[in-house]
Every structure is written in C-alpha cells, then in structure tokens.
C-alpha cells in the first residue's frame, strides 16, 4: 500500500497550515494600513484588498461591493473567473450583500448554484461563497465577497473569521484615511483664508497707500509745485511698491509650496501674520542678515534659512511668538516691532520684540513665559532679558544666541 512520505514532525499538519493562513491574513491587513499611511491612492488600495483576499482566501473570484451615489450596492471591483459578468452588478436589497452590510455580520453559502432563494442570477455560476462585511453596522464601508467555482471546497467558519477580521481592519484603515483627507481639506481652507487675509491686510493696504501717494504727486505736479517734495514722495512710493512685491511674492511662495517644510524666515512671517489677531494690528517684522533686510534678496533668505535650523529655528520662532503674545496680552500697545537679526561675522542671532505700551511696571517674580525664554537661551549659551524699552515707553524683549557658522555656510553655496 503506497503511503505518503512522512517524516514524523516534519510534514506540515493541518494546524500548521491554519497558522500560516492566519499569519498571512494578519500581515495582509497590516499591509493595507501601511499603504494608506504612506498615502497610497484609495483606488489602488481597494484593488489590492480584492487581490490579496482572493489569493489568501484561495478563491476563484473576489469582489468588493461598495455603496454607490444613490445608496445602491454595486460590485465595484471584481477579479478572477467571470469578473466581467459581475462588474457593475447592483445587489438587491433583500440579498446577502445587503444583509452583511446592515448587520455587520458575515456569512457563508455552501453553494450559490444550489441556493434556492438566490436573488442575483449572475451569482448562480459560482459554488461556495463567503460574505465579509467591511466596517461595522454603524459605519459600513462595503462587503468583500469571495467565491469558488461550483464543486469547490466550501469555506469554513475559520475562513470566515479571518476574512472578516481582515475586512474590518481594511475598512478601519479606509475610514481613517478619509478622516485624514478631511483634515487636510480643512487645513487647506484655513490656509486659503490666511492667504486672503495676508493679501488684504498687507499687500492691498500697502498698494492702496501707494496709490494715495501717487495721487498727491499728480495734484502737486498739476500745480507745478515743489520738485524736491515730489521726488521724495515718489521715492517713498517706490519703496512701498517694492515691499508690496515682497509681500505678494511670499504669499505666492506659500501658495506654490504649502506642504514643503518651511524655512525659518517663512515661519517668522507666519508668526507675525498670526499675531495680528491678538494685537488688533499688524506688527512690523524686520529680518536682517548682516544688516541687510532679508526678502530683498532670495539668496539672503536661503542663507538665513540654512543657518537657523533645527532646535535653534524652533527657539527663534517660539521667542518671537512669546514676545508678540506678551505685547498682545499685557502691553496695551499701539505698535509692536519684531526684529530678528543674524550676523554671520560671529555675532549670532538676536531677537528683539519691542512695544510702545504701558511697560513692565513692578512685575513680581518671573512667570513661565519669561522663564521659558531664558531656558531657550541657555540651551544655546545665550541670554534673554525683558526690560523697559530704551525709548522710555513700553517693553523690550531681547534674546540672543551665539551661532557657530560652518565655514562652508559663509557663502550661500551648498556643501559638497
Ligand atoms: N510686553 C509687555 N508689556 C507689559 N507687561 C509685560 C510685557 N511682557 C511681559 N509683561 C509682564 O511680565 C509678566 C511676565 O510675563 P510672562 O513670563 O510672559 O508671563 P505671562 O505672559 O504668562 O503672564 C506678565 O504677566 C506681565 O505682567
Ligand atoms: Mg507670556
């Protein structure tokens, strides 16, 4: 009598096979999550779900049945035997797909071909079937349908359990991906509002003021008066046009590249723009590199961004934020200026936030804000003071950190 070649303990047992299948379902589920986290296209993920389910479930045909626009359930993605006949099939309300979706419970059919009360004739071409709902009864996503040919091995309870938990995990990943997309959408709307505000408050106001200056020039020129005065006004208008161009350029940059990790200069501009709400007016922001105003020259901005990076960049931004917040909360000021200057000749980076408000008065004891500023300075062997402004009115926050420049960074050329 022929016997199977058995080496005791080496032939895979039924239990080994089950364990391996379970393992495969679990890692397939994890893979779906990873795909979605990495930002894969949802359509690709759905295709992938159907493919792996068909393979691991040893099915001849697999279909993903999803709710359509009119609330109907349609076989949206079908792979395997007879896929063409099933694609686009609308599932009847009283059928098994709907039942699985409504209840959140899957079920097995020994043979669709032999099922007396089958509602969908196209399914009669198949034998054993497994319906696994994706999602829960409260948050249904769809139904995963696995089928084998007529006469094929029937699916068992363990198959159902595993396919079902895979389908649930895939559904959860899809729901989370949707939520993330909605969040990204909300951020986009917020970002647009900020851009509109920036354009209105900074660029448009400035252009409006320039228009008025030119109006004055025209009136005076019409009367043939005061050549020197006219030149002065025109000069002023030109400066103001330059600065409008800069504002608009920075808004455009943030439009073009909203997701790119921003350089510190861009982050400071945002900080200043955001502070407007608390202050009730726009603070003035001056960022300088070796005394030159950054923004006049793209290379200066690049150099600034390449020197102030990492923890130092975070600290500089945080110091400006705290200074502006203090001015908004305590100063009752009518103007505030934030100045950030970087000296590449060993001077380091200095942040000053100055307001023309009521001044410090007799503040007793340090509070967390000033304490944090000092701590941030100490980390870079720097210093931080908050004191009365030298003008006699208001408060000056002075924060400084030495910066050791990489010799290669002295010039704005990248290191080899
Ligand atoms: N720009 C400012 N104008 C007036 N007072 C200020 C200013 N900045 C700080 N102060 C005073 O110093 C105190 C300490 O500031 P801070 O440590 O930032 O604490 P907080 O802002 O949480 O009150 C404030 O409570 C306020 O009385
Ligand atoms: Mg504070």
User: In CATH, what number is assigned to the domain containing residue 66?
Assistant: 3.30.450.40
Residue 205, pLDDT > 80, answer no
Q: Is the CB of 369 under 6 A from ligand 1?
A: yes
Q: Is the CB of 372 under 6 A from ligand 1?
A: no
Q: What is the pLDDT of residue 54?
A: 96
Q: Which one of 182, 208, 243 terminates a domain?
A: 182
Q: Is the CB of 330 under 6 A from ligand 1?
A: yes
Q: Across the chain, which distance is largest between two alpha carbons, in Å?
A: 123
* Residues 407, 313 share a domain: yes
* Residues 164, 21 share a domain: yes
Q: For residue 346, how far is its CA from the centre of ligand 2 (angstroms)?
A: 30
Beta strands in 290-356 (DSSP E): 292-293, 336-343, 348-355
Residue 388, pLDDT > 80, answer yes
Q: What is the pLDDT of residue 408?
A: 56
Residue 39, pLDDT > 70, answer yes
* Residues 277, 160 share a domain: no
> Quick one: average pLDDT of 39-65?
91
- What whole-number distance in Å separates Cα of residue 185 and Cα of residue 192? 11
Contact call for residues 255 and 199 (beta carbons, < 8 A): no
Q: Which residue has the higher pLDDT, 382 or 202?
A: 382
Contact call for residues 24 and 54 (beta carbons, < 8 A): no
Q: How confident is the model at residue 411 (pLDDT cuts 50, 70, 90)?
A: very low
Q: Which of 130-134, 229-233, 316-320, 392-396 has the lowest mean pLDDT?
A: 229-233
* Residues 178, 53 share a domain: yes
The domain total for the chain is 2
At CA 170, angle to CA 167 and CA 175, rounded to 5?
120
**β-strand partners of 146:** 62, 130
Residue 342, pLDDT > 60, answer yes
> Quick one: average pLDDT of 280-309?
90
Q: Is the CB of 67 under 6 A from ligand 1?
A: no
Q: Is the CB of 363 under 6 A from ligand 1?
A: yes
Is 38 a domain residue? yes
Is 388 a domain residue? yes
* Residues 150, 277 share a domain: no
At CA 130, angle to CA 125 and CA 134, rounded to 5?
125
Neighbouring C-beta atoms of residue 36, cutoff 10 Å: 21
Residue 52, pLDDT > 90, answer yes
Q: Which one of 182, 198, 216 terminates a domain?
A: 182
Q: For residue 141, how far is its CA from the centre of ligand 2 (angstroms)?
A: 48
E strand or H helix that includes residue 313: helix 310-326
Is 392 a domain residue? yes
Contact call for residues 92 and 98 (beta carbons, < 8 A): yes
> Quick one: average pLDDT of 394-411?
80
Q: What is the pLDDT of residue 7?
A: 47
Q: Is the CB of 395 under 6 A from ligand 1?
A: yes
Q: What is the pLDDT of residue 38?
A: 79
Is 355 a domain residue? yes
* Residues 51, 173 share a domain: yes
Identify which ligand lies nearest to the alpha carbon of 331. Answer: 1
Residue 210, pLDDT > 90, answer no
Question: Which residues, other chains included, contact 379 with Cβ-Cβ below 8 Å and sequence gap of 6+?
Answer: 311, 315
**Domain containing residue 273:** 262-416
* Residues 170, 33 share a domain: yes
Q: What is the pLDDT of residue 215?
A: 87
Residue 30, pLDDT > 50, answer yes
| Per-residue exposure over 158-186, b if at least 16 CB sit within 10 Å of its own CB, e if not | ebbebbbbbbbbbbbbbbebeeeeeeeee
- What whole-number distance in Å separates Cα of residue 161 and Cα of residue 171? 15
HSE value, Cβ hemisphere, 13 Å, CA-based, for 358: 9
Residue 416, pLDDT > 90, answer no
* Residues 267, 153 share a domain: no
Strand 336-343 relative to strand 107-109, pairing: unpaired
Q: Is the CB of 329 under 6 A from ligand 1?
A: yes
Q: What is the pLDDT of residue 415?
A: 33
**Can you tell me which atom of ligand 1 is nearest the CA of 395?**
1
Q: For residue 330, how far is its CA from the centre of ligand 1 (angstroms)?
A: 6
Using H for helix, E for strand and C for coil, what is the string for 145-170? EEEEECCCCCCCHHHHHHHHHHHHHH
**Can you tell me which atom of ligand 1 is nearest the CA of 368?**
17
Q: Which residue has the higher pLDDT, 278 or 339?
A: 339
Q: What is the pLDDT of residue 236?
A: 85
* Residues 411, 275 share a domain: yes
Q: Which one of 182, 213, 239 terminates a domain?
A: 182
Q: What is the pLDDT of residue 5?
A: 47
Q: Is the CB of 393 under 6 A from ligand 1?
A: no
Of all residues in the chain, what percent carry a pLDDT higher than 70? 91
Is 237 a domain residue? no
Mutate which of 318, 321, 326 for ligand 1 pocket (most atoms within 8 A of beta carbon) = 326
* Residues 163, 19 share a domain: yes
Is 379 a domain residue? yes
Is 335 a domain residue? yes
* Residues 283, 176 share a domain: no
User: What CATH number does residue 317 fall under?
Assistant: 3.30.565.10
- What whole-number distance in Å separates Cα of residue 130 and Cα of residue 159? 8
Identify which ligand lies nearest to the alpha carbon of 372. Answer: 1
Mean of per-residue pLDDT scores for the chain: 85
* Residues 144, 28 share a domain: yes
Q: How confident is the model at residue 275 (pLDDT cuts 50, 70, 90)?
A: confident
Is 187 a domain residue? no
């Amino acid at each position: 009598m022929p016997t199977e070649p058995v080496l005791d303990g080496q032939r895979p047992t039924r239990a080994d096979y089950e364990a391996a299948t379970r393992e495969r379902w679990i890692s397939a589920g994890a893979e779906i999550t990873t795909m979605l986290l990495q930002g894969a296209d949802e359509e690709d993920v759905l295709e992938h779900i159907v493919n792996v389910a068909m393979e691991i479930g040893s099915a001849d045909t697999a279909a993903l049945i999803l709710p359509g626009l009119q609330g109907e359930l349609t076989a949206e993605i079908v792979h395997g035997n007879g896929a063409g006949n099933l694609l686009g099939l609308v599932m009847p309300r009283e059928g098994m797909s709907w039942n699985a979706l409504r209840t959140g419970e899957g079920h097995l059919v020994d043979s669709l071909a032999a099922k007396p009360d089958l509602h969908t004739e196209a399914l009669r071409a198949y034998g054993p079937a497994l319906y696994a709902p994706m999602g829960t009864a409260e948050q249904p996503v769809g139904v995963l349908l696995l089928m084998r040919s007529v006469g094929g091995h029937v699916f068992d309870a363990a198959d159902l359990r595993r396919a079902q938990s895979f389908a649930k995990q895939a559904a959860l990943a899809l729901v989370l991906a949707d939520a993330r997309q909605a969040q990204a959408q909300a951020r986009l709307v917020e970002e647009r509002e900020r851009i509109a505000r920036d354009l209105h408050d900074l660029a448009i106001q400035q252009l409006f003021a320039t228009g008025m200056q030119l109006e004055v020039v025209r009136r005076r020129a019409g009367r043939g008066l005061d050549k020197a005065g006219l030149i002065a006004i025109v000069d002023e208008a030109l400066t103001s046009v330059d600065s409008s161009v800069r504002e608009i350029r920075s808004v455009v940059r943030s439009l073009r590249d909203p997701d790119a990790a921003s350089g510190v200069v861009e982050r400071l501009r945002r900080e200043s723009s955001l502070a407007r709400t608390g202050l009730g007016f726009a603070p003035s922001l001056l960022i300088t590199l070796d005394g030159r105003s950054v923004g006049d020259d793209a290379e200066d901005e690049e150099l600034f961004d390449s020197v102030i990076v990492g923890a130092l960049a975070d600290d500089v931004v945080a110091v400006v934020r705290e200074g502006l917040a203090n001015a908004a909360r305590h100063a009752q000021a009518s103007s505030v200026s934030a100045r950030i200057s970087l000296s590449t000749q060993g001077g380091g980076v200095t942040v000053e936030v100055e307001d023309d408000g009521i001044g410090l008065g007799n503040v007793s004891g340090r509070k967390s804000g000033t304490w944090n500023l000092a701590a941030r300075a100490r980390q870079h062997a720097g210093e931080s003071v908050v004191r009365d402004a030298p003008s006699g009115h208001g408060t000056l926050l002075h924060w400084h950190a030495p910066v050791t420049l990489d010799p290669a960074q002295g010039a704005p050329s990248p290191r080899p």
